[in-house]
Structure 1
């Protein structure tokens, strides 16, 4: 007899610790943008966001599939739009107008790309032309949106066939780095491997894969806490190695894959060993959880703050002495989250009731 799916979330489908991981990820991005990009792996923050998105969306949709017998695609797409679009579109409209006062033009192609979620491909196309993007950070939102559009279709295709889903996700995790290697040896621009959806979707696929693994094999994983603890330690060692080694060919080909493996090992440890569970409880500290829940808006606004600072300072934060950079970064964090809180209250919260109409059906 097949064992019932392992449930690793609470009755509200809440996953303890994920908000804390989001908070840590966006802090990496903010500090990296404010002059510490050579010391702080802001890109790792984005990769972690991708992994969390894959893990969370798979968990939520699979739970809906189990409860309702199907994935309600229309409701899912509406929920995603109501979660992402209000704050993004408000951000774009405000910064289109305000940018004129601090030297940031907003060309029509960049505006269209921001609203339609294809900034990643516009960044790639404009990189050889040395056109400075107003909103370079929106590339990752485009990748996530392309994932949200396609992955639920894969779930529908693999309905009641988790082994097929596992196999297809595994294939994605192998095929995407192979494609990056082919792109690199073919002379594709570096930005292509960094930002094209077809080159980054494996970061989400690793998260999807681990969600299915937990669901299918969680009962067994729960009985081996020492192995999970080893996975947690190995995750840290492997992640550190991916950051220390800086060969360009490696960075544009297999780095993201190794980081995906490291995150998968880390999640194994976080969910199935005592130390990991303690770390997840620490990440539930109220201020950290609040930062995680505001991380989307913080990701939007932090780059705009850097544009303002560069205009007032006459140059980016990276040109400042180390001590001054540290002060600027420390001030940027509360400023970013103040803007994110305002964004949440003004543009997201008023639509909460509408969004709840399309919530997952239990």
Structure 2
């Protein structure tokens, strides 16, 4: 278990950070680059277990304070520096309400607990709105720090139970298996917990830790076999980078690709260090030789600072210029590398090598010698500088959040409130818009029970945002409204993939059929349908694929409308709202903060209105008897632009959902169309 420097690990770090940066900078050729974080986890498990077990074996003791001080000296100064600079730059780029929100995130990032904060606020790492959070990448650093806190105690516990490696392997293996089983279970049930919660990522660190015990055994194998093993590891990492995507349930089984690949590469490098001189011909063919190349060594040396900097750089660049071109993204990568190099030379390396944050002579130790008896604990002050630095980072972020809150003027506050105001359906009962897992329909009624007529609103969240004007219009016409709404579930009979659950949305299919049966049985005067009509389309689709998907959706819509028509129930389809390029609430708030007009956030009609999809929808509606098509697109869009701020009101609360205050103004046009 030599603790000497290994160039191949430095090269593996370069591959890890390279994948993450490529993914975040939009390199579509590496859709699974986010798995680079899993490589880092395995490397950490390998290195920390190696160092701790070496200390226990050689001295019979484990100096925990010195270990924690080394970790703090290695990681904390650069992290706090990047957090403070990111906050400072954010005051010029982000709107005050964004500054307030993400400054609170920075507080948790400085304390290495932002993964728990992200769980609380249900931030999805793969969601589009994650691009506005300049600190979301600290989740992995938080998981690592939490690992550093627990892992030494686990090794101490194993050594206390029984001196020797076998018990340590049993303890690590048991923890790893339990973590992996829980991760598999929650990846589909609660993806955010599986992704962010450190105990559910512990198996990746455990894989690296267990590999350190397997290394001496594998050293006895033939060099050519170890070389093949190393190349297999790199191949698994390549497969992960090339074939994984944000649409797959991750971590789960898929995380085994980068984890297993990293373990094989680490084992190969360990074996190469133990080779006899006569077998040097195989060393040149081993992955360790490639990973030791100078460019990879340079990137690997900067990997920590580069990881810290790359995300704020691309987040702020995208805020300033939403449609970054290839040259601009390359420029961002160069800037991130320059910042990483400066941070490494001026902050990271001096702090790591200097006396600052160094461990004191008195330490917290575990004595594993037979004569030692019970654990002997000696308090030390090794972490005092680290705690002061952490407190300073947290305090600075808190002060920035407080200052940003004070800078929110009435107009900004109005935008924030407009974006947060729920529709009338969700204001009465948030469960009127069902979650992903619920299958049993929940009808919600608005208006007097003895009203002369009944209208049903049926669909997904795009139907929900019409509930406010529809209820108001119905109230004027002695009509009650009953809603059948489910998140991300269209009224069209179309099986879809759920991007959050990372699987086919079978709950939607079951709910839809029950809802259609219930609606037909109730015989309403009219069924109003609206849905996220382009939900199965992506901008990178070929023309042929787009045409095929539109045809599939048309067939599903026709099937639903025919079911109502054949049952003698009239239907009306409201054309879907435009899809903007930016989150309207954040974009308008930023524009006002920059003293720019809100029109800065408008999207060209050719991109936003999806006129070809609307034409396909209209064609289906026209072919079904007793079915009406309602098109209010001119309320949002002119001949060339679709607007996000209309008559002094925020029109959309994100990219495509109506803001409720603006939706209220559409009651008149909707009444005219339906009544």
TM-score range, shorter chain: 0.7 to 0.9
> Given the alignment of the two structures, is residue 209 of structure 1 paired with residue 207 of structure 2, yes or no?
no
Q: Secondary structure at the match of 1:71?
A: strand
Number of the residue aligned with 1:59: 50
Number of the residue aligned with 1:194: 195
- 1:194 and 1:70 mapped to 2: Cα distance? 35
- 1:335 and 1:292 mapped to 2: Cα distance? 17
Distance 1:290 1:234, change over 3 A: closer
- 2:307 and 2:82 mapped to 1: Cα distance? 11
Distance 1:244 1:283, change over 3 A: closer
> Given the alignment of the two structures, is residue 90 of structure 1 paired with residue 85 of structure 2, yes or no?
no
2:234 and 2:261 in contact (8 A); partners too:
yes
Q: Secondary structure at the match of 2:297?
A: helix
Distance 1:211 1:309, change over 3 A: same
> Given the alignment of the two structures, is residue 224 of structure 1 paired with residue 222 of structure 2, yes or no?
yes
How far the C-alpha of 1:150 sits from its partner, in A, is 0.7
TM-score scaled by length of structure 2:
0.46
Number of the residue aligned with 1:286: 294
How far the C-alpha of 1:277 sits from its partner, in A, is 6.8
Distance 1:244 1:212, change over 3 A: same
How far the C-alpha of 1:241 sits from its partner, in A, is 5.0
Distance 1:128 1:143, change over 3 A: closer
Which residue among 115, 118, 126 is the counterpart of 1:123? 118
Number of the residue aligned with 2:254: 255
Q: Secondary structure at the match of 1:254?
A: helix
How far the C-alpha of 1:128 sits from its partner, in A, is 6.0
2:14 and 2:296 in contact (8 A); partners too:
yes
Q: Secondary structure at the match of 1:143?
A: helix
- 2:22 and 2:267 mapped to 1: Cα distance? 28
> Given the alignment of the two structures, is residue 111 of structure 1 paired with residue 93 of structure 2, yes or no?
no
Bigger relative CO (Cα 8 Å, ≥ 6 apart): 1
Q: Secondary structure at the match of 1:145?
A: helix
Which residue among 28, 48, 60 is the counterpart of 2:19? 28
- Greater alpha carbon shift after TM alignment, 138-147 vs 66-75: 66-75
Number of the residue aligned with 1:178: 181
1:31 and 1:329 in contact (8 A); partners too:
no
How far the C-alpha of 1:229 sits from its partner, in A, is 3.3
Q: Secondary structure at the match of 2:26?
A: helix
Number of the residue aligned with 2:624: none
- 1:181 and 1:289 mapped to 2: Cα distance? 35
Q: Secondary structure at the match of 1:148?
A: helix
How far the C-alpha of 1:281 sits from its partner, in A, is 3.2
- 1:356 and 1:128 mapped to 2: Cα distance? 33
1:183-207 Cα distance to aligned partner (Å, 9 max, x none): 245x31x222122111212111111
Distance 1:100 1:164, change over 3 A: same
TM-score scaled by length of structure 1:
0.83
Distance 1:164 1:316, change over 3 A: farther
Distance 1:294 1:239, change over 3 A: closer
Distance 1:169 1:102, change over 3 A: same
Gaps of 5+ in 2: 273-281, 362-675
- Greater alpha carbon shift after TM alignment, 172-181 vs 49-58: 172-181
Q: 5 Å matches for 1:295-314?
A: 295-313=303-321
Q: Secondary structure at the match of 2:61?
A: coil
Distance 1:264 1:122, change over 3 A: same
Number of the residue aligned with 1:4: none
The number of aligned residues is 339
- 1:359 and 1:22 mapped to 2: Cα distance? 30
How far the C-alpha of 1:135 sits from its partner, in A, is 0.7
> Given the alignment of the two structures, is residue 266 of structure 1 paired with residue 265 of structure 2, yes or no?
yes
Distance 1:312 1:255, change over 3 A: same
1 or 2, which has the higher helix percentage? 1
Distance 1:248 1:69, change over 3 A: same
Gaps of 5+ in 1: 1-6, 318-323
- 2:265 and 2:21 mapped to 1: Cα distance? 23
2:183 and 2:201 in contact (8 A); partners too:
no
Number of the residue aligned with 1:140: 140
How far the C-alpha of 1:249 sits from its partner, in A, is 6.6
Distance 1:348 1:244, change over 3 A: closer
How far the C-alpha of 1:89 sits from its partner, in A, is 0.8
1:138-159 Cα distance to aligned partner (Å, 9 max, x none): 0000000011001111121222
Which residue among 76, 87, 90 is the counterpart of 1:99? 90
Distance 1:316 1:35, change over 3 A: farther
- 2:341 and 2:114 mapped to 1: Cα distance? 25
